[in-house]
Amino acid sequence: MIEGLINGLFNGISIGAVLLIVALGLAIVFGLMGVINLAHGELMMLGAYTTFVVQNGAKALGEGALEFYILAALPLSFLVAALVGLALERGVIRHLYGRPLETLLATWGVSLILRQFVRSVNWAMIAGLVLFCLLYFGGRWILQRQTQWEQTRRVAAPVILALSSASALAAGILMNQNGGNALSQPWFGARNVDVTAPAWLRGGLSLGTTLQFPYARLFIIVLTILCLIGVYWFLNGTAWGLRMRSVTQNRKMSACLGIPTDRVDALTFALGSGLAGIAGCAVTLLGSVGPNLGGNYIVDAFMVVVVGGVGKLVGSIVAALVIGIITYLLGSGTLALILPPAEALQPLVDFFTFFATTSMAKVMVFALIIAFLQWKPAGMFPQKGRSVEV
């Protein structure tokens, strides 16, 4: 009875930890910019694939390296996802501020592209991309050195974009067809790939006879706590964190006081994306890695943001833990089991048994979230302010 409860609590917390690590980046970005990033799941996926690549590299290095590849994979996943996030912010989202619904759609477009990208990426494609960047940015750089750029921009920018993308596409297709297997072989393919956890993360900690805490789960909980401490320190202990908090509170006033809001935006987005990368690295311990990996976690992470509110980090923490625990308790049927076997409680037991699958638990949790929003529409810790929200 007690053991069952502890077990349920542990599993709930570990689900909550995964949710929290996924939602953390999302919440920071949403709080600062009011932008929901539908590509967040795909940034996670990039982190997971980075882990896969690091693992393969470690395999080539030998047994000793394989034990500790995850320690190298974490910062690398952060870096890869953060760079992609930075490019995304500078290239697309920057142009869409003040139009949150359009941003939503644009990030969905990016997520589709990223999903197909990992399926079909090969050396020919990379070469084509590099060629495109060289031609496009090189061409712009050369043209910008002319004094006439501002006048010719309207015509020149689309022309150079069309020319460089056409030549890069042609080169990519040519290499794909004639370059042989080395160039056209997809790196990952559409099938799921597997990341094996290092030996010290397999197995679990046993307490008593029935209690079992898998090391992988414990690792994720510890990692989540470390990420939280890191983010907390960054927000409250550094100059850029201070700027970020001030922009979150009042963007216009911060801009007036000389805070470079666009750099704060870029930095925040990169940070949020990097956290997605770490989350992706963490979830490789739980299952296989595929192009659709992000989709399994992302909607729950949105719910964490909605329930938690955007005012404080602690909202996300509480929301993630509560949603995790409730999901587990409902989904595993623990609630039905721990009720005393009285006749009067039988309908209640039937009710909980009906919801005792993972998918049905989600149905129930959603109903609870909607009910909760009737009571607190802006989440647990709403942003406080006197102005009417726009």
Q: Single out the segment in contact with other proteins by CB under 8 A; choices: 7-15, 62-70, 140-148, 372-380.
A: 372-380
Site for other proteins in 68-107 (CB under 8 A): 92, 95-96, 100-106
The Cα–Cα gap between 329 and 98 comes to 40
Q: Which of 90, 140, 245, 362 binds other proteins (CB under 8 A)?
A: 362
Per rule CB under 8 A, is residue 109 in the interface with other proteins? Answer: yes
Q: Binding segment for other proteins among 12-20, 254-262, 297-305, 332-340 (CB under 8 A)?
A: 297-305
Q: Which is nearer to other proteins, 135 or 303 (CB)?
A: 303
Binder to other proteins among 67, 87, 90, 108 (CB under 8 A)?
108
Q: Are 66 and 59 in contact (CB under 8 A)?
A: yes
List of long-range contacts for 91-98, beta carbons under 8 Å, 24+ apart: 93/33, 93/35, 93/269, 94/262, 94/265, 94/266, 97/33, 97/265
CA–CA distance, 317 with 324 (Å, rounded to integer): 11
Q: Is 386 in the site for other proteins (CB under 8 A)?
A: no
Shortest distance (Å) from residue 201 CB to other proteins:
30
The yes or no reply on residue 352 touching other proteins (CB under 8 A) is no
Q: Tell me the per-residue interface mask from 118 to 137 with other proteins, x by CB under 8 A, - otherwise.
A: -xx-----------------
Indicate whether 245 belongs to the interface with other proteins (CB under 8 A).
no
Which ranges constitute the DSSP H helices of the chain? 2-33, 40-61, 63-67, 69-91, 100-120, 123-145, 149-178, 181-184, 215-237, 239-249, 251-256, 261-283, 295-308, 313-331, 334-338, 346-354, 358-375
Q: Is the CB of residue 326 less than 8 Å from the CB of residue 357?
A: no
Chain residues binding other proteins by CB under 8 A are 30, 34-36, 92, 95-96, 100-106, 108-113, 115-117, 119-120, 295, 299, 302-303, 305-306, 357, 359-360, 362-363, 366, 369-370, 373-374, 377, 388, 390
